[in-house]
Structure 1
Amino acid sequence: MKNSRLLLLVGSVLMAGMATAIWSLRRQKAPKLSIDCESPIGDVMQSLAGLTLGTVVEGNAVDIHENGAFFDVLIDRVRAAKHSIHFETFLWKDGTLGRRLAQAFCDQARAGRCVRVMLDHVGGDKIGDEVLAMFKEAGVTLRFFHKRSIQNLGVLNDRDHRKLCVIDGREAFVGGHCIVDSWLGNAEDGVHFSDVSLHLRGPIVHTIQSTFCDNWIGETGELFMGDHFFPKLEPVGDIAMHAAFIKPSNSAPAVKVLHHSVICIAKKRIWIQNPYFIPEPEAIDAMGEAVKRGVDVRVLMPATSGSDSPMVQHAGHRNFEKLLRNGVRLFEYPHTLLHQKVMTVDGEWSAVGSTNFDDRSFETNDEISVGILDRGVATQLDGIFEKYVARAHEITLEKWAKRPLLHKAKAQAAYLINELL
């Protein structure tokens, strides 16, 4: 009996020590949301890029693609590749879309193109045996991020949530679209989702290629260089951009610094479109301070009836009352999942990418957000906001304060595990 108790005690101590070690390994400092800056956001692009360990890149062009129409453009450009295709995503489920994209990859691999695919091991576990066999037969190089194994024990909760594609090192796609049939169509019903992705050309493509290299090298050790991957890129437009994707040790990830910084410097308005909106207390306070400065702060998100993860939306509800008291306007869309991760500031700067407005994206996942300084782009993205908000329900403080006790309990319970959702 004594030996059993001793073993139990030793085992408990070891488990506690291991948990502490893992927590310490992944712990990051949170940025303080207090910035003394009177300059408009258009004048501080260099600062935003520098704080997020990036560089402002001039001379770019961008097209915005919504919903299922995005895949027509993506697959068309994949089929036009002459040398290389690098693709990275979180979620891929077997279906019409997955097989269509897989066929394009395989055809290009058979034609001698270098096709590399990085897929998150959790999000990609339903890619399907047929697609895996297609890739193997055609010579597509597929790797999974953070497979479940002892050597990955400390990072099993860290997932690759990026969605990007780089073609010949000359054009790139970044956004929120997943390879699931629900992303087809035009968000016309509860089965088909809404999303936004960017088609980028110009020198910014080198940065997107670097993002792909980040996890590819980490999983494979493979290095690649030369004009097929990093060609000389001349200016093709007049748009300045920067990308946040780096997650340094013992410091806040770049995507968190970016999203939180722009809240602090906005002068006129902050419009957020995000499917999983669970801001931290300091971000809520920063939004409240923005409202006091006269900033119009609005958030558009799916309702529980439209969300693919109602538990996440319940977790977000926990902070609605504080947000509303701070003057933030909240809108829930009940008809389908709005999956776009978009933020516009002052009608001239925008962020688009894979980043959700929650702890999982800001602290744990590997993500990418592209910052864009261009009024035309911001206007287009604000137009998408206005299109969906017209059919959304605005949450008012008066009604929200009277919600049932059970609803409050659900929100509190879900919030306790929000970092795991």
Structure 2
Amino acid sequence: MPLLKRLPRPVGLLAVLVLALVLVIGCAALPSLENREPSWALPQDQARETRIGRSASEPLAAHPGLAGIHPLPNAREAFATRVLMAQMADRTLDVQYYIWRADTTGLLLLDALIQAADRGVRVRLLLDDMNTAGLDPLLRAADAHPNLDLRLFNPFVVRSARWMGFVSDFSRLNRRMHNKSFTADNLISVVGGRNVGDEYFGATEDVLFSDLDVMVAGEVVSEVSSDFDRYWGSASSYPAELILGAASQVDRDHLDDAIREVRQTERARDYLRAVERSDFVREVRESDLQLEWARTRVFSDAPGKGLGYVEEDGLLSSQLSETIGPVNRQFNLVSPYFIPTETGVAALRRMTERGIRVRVLTNSLSATDVAIVHSGYARYREDLLEAGIELYEMKPLPEHAEMARTIDSVGASATSLHAKTFEVDGNWVFVGSYNFDPRSNDLNTELGFLIESPNLARQLVATFDETVPKLAYRVRLDDDGDLYWTSETDDGTERWDTEPGTGWFKRFSVGFFSLLPIEGLL
């Protein structure tokens, strides 16, 4: 190795060591799936005999062919929904997430799954392995429960020094399962943008996310369950024990202690009291929850996308475009990580040239939690504005918390936008995990509902008309083609000529990253 010979001795030794580690890790193969035990969702005819099935039978019979929809913009209601579903389930819980934190709400929700398993409910938990660092003892212990089966999607073989896994197996590990679903007895499901963690459920004073899920009841849930089965049985889903090893008593004690300790904290008690007092919980328990009845379809990427094996017709984006068809009147988009690419800008420009009104809400630089992604979006702002797109950027909102809690469609109740939804022609509404960026389109797997509901569409349009101008900056171009930002206030209109609420270094960093050829990874 002549190159190593030319390096100084300490550097050469370090390079040899790193190379040896990479080679060793590269040789660490994933285990065989040959003896993996198959399982499938509970058939809906059996699900109708559960408590959920009996309570839902009358309203479902009164709305044949339709799904009962309840949007969940409120973070605490979104948490309460999942806990109540776990408590009400009699036969099965199928749960699929990109992120599951070991924080207050993450441990409380894991405890709800374990309690369901204690009652004899079969729990299948499918987690993407990207964000499980440090959780192996807890995951091993949960998987050891006889009624709880845990699988990891695209797992890291070596559990420490994960960056080495990226070096040796980047093509696979760069593809992640971004889907989020929580399904009880194959009759009720929650799908949307939220992961599991305090920042998604309003249980932290740090970074909070404005997000949106929908709870859906009815026959369409069988499509969610079938999709879960596809992922559960895919070539990317590995039984946890094959990756993590068997649980020890120390692991079990660690999980029990973690759950007990979090339940004893003042934060958890205050949070649970607030959830328990919510109107939502009362309405559910009194069977008084209002539902929107609408035709609803599930859209999902084929799980083979996690290994790069999927045709164009297996992509969520292609399926949505084919179903919705051409946009005729209006398109309102909410996307926290919006990177339209040149192709997307051209498509939006063709809309506006046909007289279609296009409005986009994304995060401002001061509100985003991923500044490098903002760099991928920022380079297209001038092109978008020149094409006639109305562009809004969400403000960081701690000072607007009370106002933000009143938003029903977008669910802005925090500091950073995380909801992924759009409205088309006053008729269609999509809610799911899909971001309008290259990663969602080309690398990660995604999931969402397409709902045919003029009523829900009107709510999202009204949010853009009435609320977005108050909670977001409007981005514009001046006569010289330079960007500026405006905001509506009680005293009139305020203007900025640089990105509001940011320092020069953050703006410089975003500008620098926008020059790098990394768009396909964002």
Using the alignment, how far apart are the partners of 1:261 and 1:137 within structure 2?
A: 43
Using the alignment, how far apart are the partners of 1:126 and 1:345 within structure 2?
A: 42
Conserved? CA contact 2:120–2:147, under 8 Å: no
2:78 equivalent in structure 1: 70
C-alpha deviation, 1:81, in angstroms: 0.2
C-alpha deviation, 1:185, in angstroms: 2.4
- Matches for 1:10-409 after TM superposition, within 5 Å: 58-68=65-75, 69-127=77-135, 129-130=137-138, 132-137=140-145, 139-149=147-157, 154-185=171-202, 191-218=207-234, 219=236, 238-247=293-302, 249-251=310-312, 253-258=314-319, 265-335=326-396, 336-385=415-464, 386-398=466-478, 399-400=482-483, 407=507
The one-letter code matched in structure 2 to 1:375 is P
The one-letter code matched in structure 1 to 2:90 is K
1:113/1:127 CA distance change after superposition, 3 Å: same
C-alpha deviation, 1:123, in angstroms: 2.5
Using the alignment, how far apart are the partners of 2:170 and 2:89 within structure 1?
A: 38
Deviations 1:231-262 (A, max 9, x none): xxxxx985212222133624265322245568
C-alpha deviation, 1:286, in angstroms: 1.2
C-alpha deviation, 1:267, in angstroms: 1.5
Q: TM-score, normalised by structure 1?
A: 0.76
Conserved? CA contact 1:190–1:337, under 8 Å: no
Identity %: 26
1:95/1:4 CA distance change after superposition, 3 Å: closer
Stretch deviating more after TM superposition (166-175 or 239-248):
239-248
Conserved? CA contact 1:316–1:411, under 8 Å: no
1:328/1:340 CA distance change after superposition, 3 Å: same
Give secondary structure in 2 for the equivalent of 1:300: strand
Deviations 1:293-350 (A, max 9, x none): 1111011011121111111112110111111110011111121211010010111101
1:110/1:2 CA distance change after superposition, 3 Å: closer
The one-letter code matched in structure 2 to 1:242 is R
The one-letter code matched in structure 1 to 2:513 is A
Deviations 1:267-291 (A, max 9, x none): 2111101110001212211111111
The one-letter code matched in structure 2 to 1:394 is R
1:220/1:409 CA distance change after superposition, 3 Å: closer
- Indicate the structure (1 or 2) with the bigger Cα radius of gyration: 2
2:510 maps to which of 386, 410, 415: 410
The one-letter code matched in structure 1 to 2:73 is E
Can you give the 5+ residue segments of structure 2 that lack an aligned partner in the other structure?
6-63, 158-164, 240-290, 303-308, 397-414, 485-496
Using the alignment, how far apart are the partners of 1:326 and 1:62 within structure 2?
A: 35
The one-letter code matched in structure 1 to 2:193 is G
2:27 equivalent in structure 1: none
Deviations 1:98-156 (A, max 9, x none): 01101100000011100010000003335474465345347421111001248966421
Deviations 1:375-415 (A, max 9, x none): 11212333454534421001002241876999588346346
RMSD, matched Cα: 3.1
Using the alignment, how far apart are the partners of 1:206 and 1:343 within structure 2?
A: 24
Can you give the 5+ residue segments of structure 1 that lack an aligned partner in the other structure?
6-56, 223-235
Stretch deviating more after TM superposition (355-364 or 117-126):
117-126
Q: TM-score, normalised by structure 2?
A: 0.62
Conserved? CA contact 2:297–2:450, under 8 Å: yes
Count matched residues: 357
Using the alignment, how far apart are the partners of 1:255 and 1:115 within structure 2?
A: 27
Using the alignment, how far apart are the partners of 1:267 and 1:419 within structure 2?
A: 30
The one-letter code matched in structure 1 to 2:174 is N
The one-letter code matched in structure 1 to 2:207 is V
Using the alignment, how far apart are the partners of 1:378 and 1:130 within structure 2?
A: 41
Using the alignment, how far apart are the partners of 1:157 and 1:103 within structure 2?
A: 30
1:2/1:289 CA distance change after superposition, 3 Å: closer
Conserved? CA contact 1:58–1:241, under 8 Å: no
More contact order relative to length (CA 8 Å, sep ≥ 6):
1
The one-letter code matched in structure 2 to 1:288 is R
C-alpha deviation, 1:419, in angstroms: 2.7
Conserved? CA contact 2:312–2:318, under 8 Å: no
The one-letter code matched in structure 2 to 1:420 is L
Conserved? CA contact 2:121–2:147, under 8 Å: no
Using the alignment, how far apart are the partners of 1:260 and 1:66 within structure 2?
A: 25
